[in-house]
Amino acid sequence: MKLDEYLSRVGLAAPVSRDLAGLTAVHHAHLRAIPYENLDVQLGRPVTIDSPAIYDKIVTRRRGGWCYEMNGLLGWALGEMGFDVTRATGAVVREFKGVAAEGNHLVLRVQLPEGLYLADVGFGDGPFDPIRIAPGGFEAAGFGFNLEEADPGWWRLRNHKFGGAPCFDFNLECADEAVLRERCEFLQTSPLSPFVQNLTAQRFVPGGLAILRGKVLRRVTPDGFTDTVLNTADELLETLARDFSLDVPEVATLWPKIGERHELVMQSARERD
């Protein structure tokens, strides 16, 4: 695990200053260069929270990852650069699922000279910038968010209006690594997990986000979104390469499963209407 190779992977020439400007530079570079994706989960390949395996996947093999991998790698790199960084517990849609959601997301607490911040490159379509830990609305890359205190010890980030998951909670204590490991295992194996049910890839692009869910490619800007439905496995591979810099030809074998899931989702939508 070499810091200079991580910096090259995200397009930075050298370590940055240990302040908000430096953290923001790394945060932006990571999100531009590395896509959020769950292709290994879809292919039935084990995913871990262990840093050496994450480094090999994302830096050496130039893949992306989900929250445990994306924030796991960023947290390691920030520590190597001398930042005061702590792995902390996130909980996507804890507002609705309660304690069962705790640990289904990994975030990073970063103490800076300017104050306390949250770094999170693992939510897919969350804020482009590090988040100052203070209640109120804020804007990042043109998208509006809100941070509020939830239960004692917990904060709640409300996603922008075109976001996927509507919110996630986090606390600022050091995460229980055993809980993270258990949730990581559950989310990649349980039939109830959305990561098992749906292929996804997400990436920040100029002007907004490119988001692939199943066979639907969504391009999101602060003003709205457009959807394009993919029709073949070849189109899927072309989209992953063009929009997400992912070269994983084995994904073509998932096309029948992706089609079945798409029809199921569309049927459920028609029934709701």
Same-domain status, 71 and 84: yes
Last residue of some domain: 189, 211, 244?
189
- Which pTM does this prediction carry? 0.96
Average pLDDT, integer, range 108-120: 98
pLDDT tier, 17 (very low <50, low <70, confident <90, very high otherwise) = very high
Which residue among 189, 209, 232 closes a domain? 189
On average, the pLDDT of the chain sits at 96
Active-site residue numbers?
Answer: 67, 105, 120
**256 vs 234: CA distance, rounded Å:** 13
Do residue 152 and residue 223 come from a single domain? no
- For the segment 147-203, what is each residue's pLDDT rounded down to a tens digit? 999 999 999 999 999 999 999 999 999 999 999 999 999 999 999 999 999 999 999
At 234 the pLDDT is 98
Q: State whether 131 and 184 are in the same domain.
A: yes
- pLDDT of amino acid 222: 97
Distance in angstroms (rounded) separating the CA atoms of residues 247 and 216? 18
**What pLDDT, on a 0 to 100 scale, did the predictor assign at position 268?**
77
Packed helices 67-80 and 20-33: angle between N→C axes, nearest 10 degrees: 140
Q: How many domains does the chain have?
A: 2
| 37, 169: one domain | yes
* 141 and 235 inside one domain: no
CA separation for the pair 229, 52 (Å, rounded): 36
Given a cut of 80, whether residue 272 has pLDDT beyond it is: no
According to the model, what pLDDT value does residue 154 have?
97
Which CATH number does the domain housing residue 237 bear? 3.30.2140.10
Query: Which tens digit of pLDDT belongs to each residue from 75-94?
Result: 999 999 999 999 999 999 99
Domain identity same for 94 and 79: yes
Print the domain residue range for 46: 3-189
In tens, the pLDDT along 246-257 reads 999 999 999 999
Q: Two tokens at 94?
A: 């804890």
CA–CA separation, 30 and 116 (whole Å): 20
Phi/psi of residue 255, nearest 5 degrees? -55, -45
Name 131's Cβ contacts closer than 8 Å, sequence gap at least 6: 117, 118, 119, 120, 138, 145, 147, 157
